[in-house]
């Protein structure tokens, strides 16, 4: 069986942050999965689906899209933003929706997050993936919808 690869696009426009530099030990330690972070500008922004698939989890500050191969990709907008209880987040999609990569899922006004002192760095990870399996992460600025990283599943031994 060959390894399956996946291209993940940036869900938001901003500065690419290597996952190990995300200011949250769970994400930085790749305990949730491999990926990258994106830090948006401190102004209202849209967040788009990083892959095509089904929106299986949708919270005010985070969502998971599962692609046709069953891989879940988590987009978590900001760090500790769950504590805002949705303030500043407007959902534009619904749980169960089929989305294309680049479909707008939410709009964010970061005023409340910034006022609370929360980081806007937004981790994007392939759930349950092995550490350091996200490759081709660019440096510098990125636009929403541009390729953020590629991920390749480890090859499974033949039966």
Catalytic residues: 76
- DSSP three-state, residue 21: helix
- How many C-beta neighbours within 10 Å does residue 103 have? 16
Strand duo 147-152 + 134-135: pairing: antiparallel
> Exposed, middle or buried, 80 (CB in 10 Å: 0-12/13-18/19+)?
middle
148, 51 Cβ separation under 8 angstroms: no
> Exposed, middle or buried, 2 (CB in 10 Å: 0-12/13-18/19+)?
exposed
């Amino acid at each position: 069986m060959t390894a399956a690869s996946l291209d993940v696009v940036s869900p938001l426009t901003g500065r690419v942050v290597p996952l190990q530099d995300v200011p949250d030990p769970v994400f930085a330690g790749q305990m949730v999965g491999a990926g990258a972070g994106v830090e948006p500008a401190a102004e209202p922004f849209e967040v788009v689906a990083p892959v095509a698939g089904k929106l299986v989890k949708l919270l005010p500050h985070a969502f998971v899209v599962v692609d046709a191969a069953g891989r879940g990709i988590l987009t978590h907008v900001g760090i500790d933003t769950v504590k805002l209880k949705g303030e500043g987040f407007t959902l534009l999609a619904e749980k169960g929706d089929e989305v294309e990569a680049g479909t707008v899922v939410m709009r964010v006004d970061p005023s409340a997050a910034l006022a609370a002192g929360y980081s806007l760095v937004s981790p994007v990870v392939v759930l349950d993936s092995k550490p350091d399996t996200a490759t081709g992460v660019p440096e510098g600025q990125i636009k929403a919808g541009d390729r953020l990283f590629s991920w390749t599943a480890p090859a499974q031994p033949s039966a």
